[in-house]
Chain A
Amino acid sequence: MASSSIPNENIIWSKVSGEVEFVGGNNMGRNVVVKGNSTGAFKLEVDVGGVLNPKPYIKGMVLEKKMVDVHVYIVRKDDGTSPATTETAFSTLLSEANNFYAQVAIEFRQVGGVTYIDKTDWLDVETTADNWAEYKQLQSSHDGTGGLEIYCIDDLIGANGANYSPGTTEAGLTIDDDANSRTLAHELGHACGLADIYLSKDGTSLPDDLVKETWLPDDWSGGSATGYYSPDLKQKDLVQRLIMYGVGNSTKADFALGKVHGVDRNGAATLIKVGLSDMNRQPQH
């Protein structure tokens, strides 16, 4: 049966658990809206014209919105000219990154104006040296702001963004002129305690297999085989959709609800912290 042939009135949603309700009491159709009455987990299931058995379900969280302060530093040449970016461009980037973070009810809010750092040597910063000395010097320049520190430079050689959050003066986040909102969102994800996920690292590769429940336990929606995900969806395709995917692309956009199976930065195939359940939603550098 083609899914388009099922009329909206035969698609019925119901609450399994949690403090949520259907807006206007409307629980029928392809699109329904629920609102939370108090924070916590919820689970909904849907009867799709009696066709799917068991019924698909979706899990979610009602969250209190968190505002996270960010302090912005833009590097310029020694003489105060040639800023790595403009205040307007950064503001746009942050706003776009916040669109991704709406999924986890976080808004990053720039505090005060931009602070300029006039140091030509820091326009281009190396990551290829083993000790990342120059990078650490840059990020040590401001500390203890009570929020996150974001440094904008012209060229971070070997990456277009990096975050360092060991709770020292060197903690901070740097992006370069090539960073887009997905880069910024990825690095902010590290600041929130999330980890990189890869398809392949240090000789370990994800098998070319379809998604399965044990590989995304908190984000499963029921059913057998690939469940109610697309029947041809492979784990490696899904991983590339995650904000915490460790390779730059122009499509990553999602936070999972929980851990997802992939290859970690040490080359181990395991469940990785890429989702809401492992996030610190009020991070500080």
Chain B
Amino acid sequence: MNNYASIFTIITTLCIFPECANAQPTEQRVRDILLTSREVGGASFVKEIHSLQQQDNISDETMRGILNGIIMDALNKKEDPLLRELTGNAIRVVSNYGNESVRDLLGAVIERKNGTLRRRAVESYMRVTNHAVAGVVTNILTDTSKYDDLDRRVVYEELINSYQITNKKDKTTVISVLDNAVDRDIDKSNFVLLDRFLKKAKNGYADSPQRTCLLRKHTTHSIGSVTEIDKYVSSELSILLKKTPAN
């Protein structure tokens, strides 16, 4: 009998279930969308929020207010997984409703939260501010005691993505910021991300002494085993040294 799930305990006490609200207010529907499980290939929560807005004729101002409210609420609460999921998705979608109040709120999240919430906030903050590298974004790139390598990586990724669609003047700014970063960032993974970008985007970088020096700096193996990024660094350095005449 042991291989049967055969024991049933039957309890006759009737359970009392909580009463449900009669109609779902808009805010509750927004919260539900932000917490809804997703089907692979199905509509994203960003699209669903947009559809809800069109269906119910909700103004941008109202939607912004709801999303800001969710984010603000999280600033004052102890985090748990559900709260993080709800808030993280609100942070993502609020970038579509950006204005000064959104920017300031995202700045507060960046200051007061860490981990995934902060990273989502950095991403949205940059979208709201048209990828300007100033203020809190500069702090993220320079204050390594407060912000970690993954925070910086979000800034890099956003700038790299913006590079594809930005004008020539802004492209020059992006290259300048990332060129400074590649010299400074001690994280090997971030170095590889930046190196791959600059190799294509910045004239002269690929074969430069600056790059040789950086590749040499990042050839050490951090945990003893050789990882994919270690292989990338070694391979790129080897190619570069073959091109460079020996002294």
Q: Which of A144-152, A212-220, A229-237 contacts B (4 or more CB under 8 A)?
A: A229-237
A36 to B4, Cβ gap below 8 A? yes
B119 to A198, Cβ gap below 8 A? no
A44: B residues at CB distance < 8 A: 10
B15: A residues at CB distance < 8 A: 230
Give bound CA distance, A229 to B17, whole Å: 10
A39: B residues at CB distance < 8 A: 4
A60 to B8, Cβ gap below 8 A? yes
A186 to B119, Cβ gap below 8 A? no
Which of B116, B119, B227 lies in contact with A79, CB distance below 8 A?
B227
Q: B57 interface residue, CB < 8 Å from A?
A: no
**Contacting residues of chain A (71-86) with chain B, CB-CB under 8 angstroms:** 77-82
B82 to A79, Cβ gap below 8 A? no
A132 to B40, Cβ gap below 8 A? yes
A236: B residues at CB distance < 8 A: 20
Give bound CA distance, A200 to B222, whole Å: 50
Query: In the complex, which range does the number of interface residues on chain B fall in?
Result: 35 or more
- Total interface residues in chain A, CB < 8 Å: 87
Give bound CA distance, A80 to B51, whole Å: 41
**Contacting residues of chain A (58-73) with chain B, CB-CB under 8 angstroms:** 58, 60, 62-65
A132 to B41, Cβ gap below 8 A? yes
A48 to B12, Cβ gap below 8 A? yes
With A178-B85, A232-B17: A248-B38 Cβ-Cβ less than 8 Å: no
With A31-B9, A161-B37: A81-B223 Cβ-Cβ less than 8 Å: yes
B35 to A248, Cβ gap below 8 A? yes
Q: B165 interface residue, CB < 8 Å from A?
A: no
Which of B45, B119, B192, B225 lies in contact with A80, CB distance below 8 A?
B225
Give bound CA distance, A102 to B9, whole Å: 13
**Contacting residues of chain B (187-222) with chain A, CB-CB under 8 angstroms:** 187-189, 192-193, 222
Give bound CA distance, A79 to B13, whole Å: 56
Min C-beta distance of A142 to chain B, whole Å = 16
A63 to B153, Cβ gap below 8 A? no
Q: A282 interface residue, CB < 8 Å from B?
A: no
CB closest chain-A residue, reference B116: A155
A30: B residues at CB distance < 8 A: 11-13
CB closest chain-A residue, reference B19: A232
With A3-B13, A65-B5, A81-B222: A159-B38 Cβ-Cβ less than 8 Å: yes
Min C-beta distance of B24 to chain A, whole Å = 7
**Contacting residues of chain A (177-193) with chain B, CB-CB under 8 angstroms:** 177-180, 183, 186-187
B19: A residues at CB distance < 8 A: 232, 234, 237
Give bound CA distance, A241 to B20, whole Å: 12
Q: B108 interface residue, CB < 8 Å from A?
A: no
With A79-B227, A230-B14, A247-B37: A62-B20 Cβ-Cβ less than 8 Å: no
**Which of B9, B12, B188, B225 has the most chain A CB within a 10 Å cutoff?**
B12
A177: B residues at CB distance < 8 A: 81, 115-116
**Contacting residues of chain B (56-101) with chain A, CB-CB under 8 angstroms:** 81-82, 84-86, 88-89, 92
Give bound CA distance, A40 to B7, whole Å: 13
Min C-beta distance of A228 to chain B, whole Å = 8
Give bound CA distance, A62 to B2, whole Å: 12
Q: A34 interface residue, CB < 8 Å from B?
A: yes
B223: A residues at CB distance < 8 A: 79-81
Which of B35, B37, B150, B153 lies in contact with A162, CB distance below 8 A?
B37
**Which of A44, A157, A228, A250 has the most chain B CB within a 10 Å cutoff?**
A157
Min C-beta distance of B149 to chain A, whole Å = 8
Min C-beta distance of B118 to chain A, whole Å = 11
Q: A271 interface residue, CB < 8 Å from B?
A: no
A62 to B120, Cβ gap below 8 A? no
Which of B9, B12, B187 lies in contact with A11, CB distance below 8 A?
B12
B3 to A65, Cβ gap below 8 A? yes
A196 to B153, Cβ gap below 8 A? no
Q: B244 interface residue, CB < 8 Å from A?
A: no
A37 to B1, Cβ gap below 8 A? yes
B12: A residues at CB distance < 8 A: 3, 11, 30-31, 46, 48
Which of B5, B24, B29, B115 lies in contact with A102, CB distance below 8 A?
B5
Min C-beta distance of A96 to chain B, whole Å = 13
B17 to A64, Cβ gap below 8 A? no
Query: Can you list the 5 inter-chain pairs with the closest CB atoms, starting with the nearest?
Result: A105-B5, A36-B6, A78-B189, A178-B81, A128-B44
A interface residue numbers (CB < 8 A to B): 3, 11, 13, 20, 23, 30-39, 44, 46, 48, 58, 60, 62-65, 77-82, 102, 105, 118-120, 123-124, 127-132, 135-136, 154-155, 157-164, 176-180, 183, 186-187, 196, 198-200, 202-203, 205, 208, 228-230, 232-234, 236-238, 241, 246-250, 265
